[in-house]
Structure formats: structure tokens, C-alpha cells
Structure 1
Amino acid sequence: MHEMSIALAVVGQVEEAARAGGPEADGRAVERVHLRVGELAGVVPDSLHFCFSLACEGTVLEGAELRTEAVPGRARCGPCGGEWDTGMPPRLGCPRCGGGAAELLSGRELQIAAVHWADRPARPTVPEEG
């Protein structure tokens, strides 16, 4: 399930920002993460939410909410310049002229749009004794 690797990457990037100690982080916990997810990115939102909650355990993101914004797939025809929503499964042939030289304009996004820091400090992580 690649949603877990995506969730771990998001957690890792936010933790890195927290360690960098920017003024937004300042030792605070993360309250919410907002992701932009394109409909053509091959991500199952429910699976991503589940994996995100697991990936956050024991980090500054523990208890953080994941909000996802779906970005529709859009394409443009090279020959005629027409634009359309690709839908799912994606329709990549131009509905105006029937051309097949489509350029994808959106729909493959997978990006952190915002991180909202809580008003409370992050819980210190305690290394496990082994």
C-alpha cells in the first residue's frame, strides 16, 4: 500500500520543518496538515487518512488531523487548445477535435499545502528501551 509510504514522507517532511525550528514550529505540536491530492495521483483518500494516523504516532504530529483537497484532472489539447476535465478513468482524447496530443494541466498533485501548528507544545518523544 503506497499510501503508507506517502504518509511517512509527509510526517518526515513536517518533522524536519519542526526540527528546523522556524517561527511557526517553535517546539509546538502539529494540529492539522492540509494536502492537495490530484485525482490522477493514484491515492485512495481513506487509506491515506488511516495510514497518516498510524504514521503520526510518537511524533510531533501525534493526534494531528489530515485534510485533503481533491484536485481534478484537467488536460489541454495541443492542436486546438481546448481544455477539459479528464475525469476517472481519465479521458485524454480531446472532446472538441478528437486529437490525442493532450497535455495534463492538473490532477497529479501530491503536495503539502499547509501545516497548522497547535498552541500547545509537542509531547517529547521517549526512546524505547530495548
Structure 2
Amino acid sequence: MHEMSLCEGVLHIIEREAQTQGFGRVKTVWLEIGALAGVEPEAMRFCFDAVMRGSLADGAGLEIIAAPGVAWCLPCGENVAVSQLYDVCPNCGGHQLQIVGGDQMRIKELEVE
């Protein structure tokens, strides 16, 4: 379950930002997770609670913002929505798609005290 290591990375970023910005507690974390990022939101929620236990984010809420997958289609020159890697273009049926969005996970916002 790679979501556990992703949550550990989130905690590391939070701890580093707490030192830099001087906050002592995290109340809510907003994560933007792309549809093509390979991250299971429910597994992320489970791991988040386990990893944050005993840290400055213990008891923090996790809000997940879903970002759609977007690809640029070479044949029709359009940005199109895709739900998984290797989808065909919904406009022309082409297979020459370059992913341009929705393949990342990032901390969008923190509510801190």
C-alpha cells in the first residue's frame, strides 16, 4: 500500500512547514489527487489517520479534492478528459494522447493554529 508512504511524505512536508512558518497544530489538510495519480482515496484516508497519530496533525481532518485526468490529443489538437492511462481520445478515437493534468497529488491547503 503506497498510500502509507505518501502520507508519511505529507507529514514530513507538514513538519517542515511548521518549523518554517511557526504553527503548532494542523486542523485540516486539503489534498488534491488527480484521477491518474494512482492513489486510492479511501486507502489514503485510512493511512492518513494512522500516520498522523501522535504528530502535530493528530486528529486533523483530511479533505480530498479530485482533479480530473486531462490529455492533449495529437491528431485533433484538443485537450480531452481521460479517466485512465491509455484511454482513447473521446473526440476522434486516436491513441496519441499526452497526459497534461490529473497525474499528480499535492497539498492544496492547510488549516493551522
Pair in the same fold by TM > 0.5: yes
Classify 1:79/1:31 alpha carbon distance in 2 versus 1 (closer, same or farther; 3 Å).
same
Verify the 8 A CA contact 1:36 1:68 in the aligned structure 2: yes
Residue 62 (structure 1) aligned with residue 58 (structure 2): yes
Give the paired residue count: 113
TM-score by length of 1: 0.79
> Which residue matches 1:100?
95
> Which residue matches 1:10?
10
> Which residue matches 1:34?
30
What is the root-mean-square deviation in Å for CA atoms of aligned residues? 1.5
Residue 80 (structure 1) aligned with residue 76 (structure 2): yes
TM-score by length of 2: 0.90
Q: Relative to total residues, which structure has the larger helix share, 1 or 2?
A: 2
Structure showing greater Rg: 1
Gaps of 5+ in 1: 119-130
Measure, in 1, the Cα distance between the counterparts of 2:30 and 2:19: 19
Measure, in 2, the Cα distance between the counterparts of 1:96 and 1:49: 35
Structure 1 moving runs of 4+ over 4 Å: none
Question: 1:15 corresponds to which letter in structure 2?
Answer: E
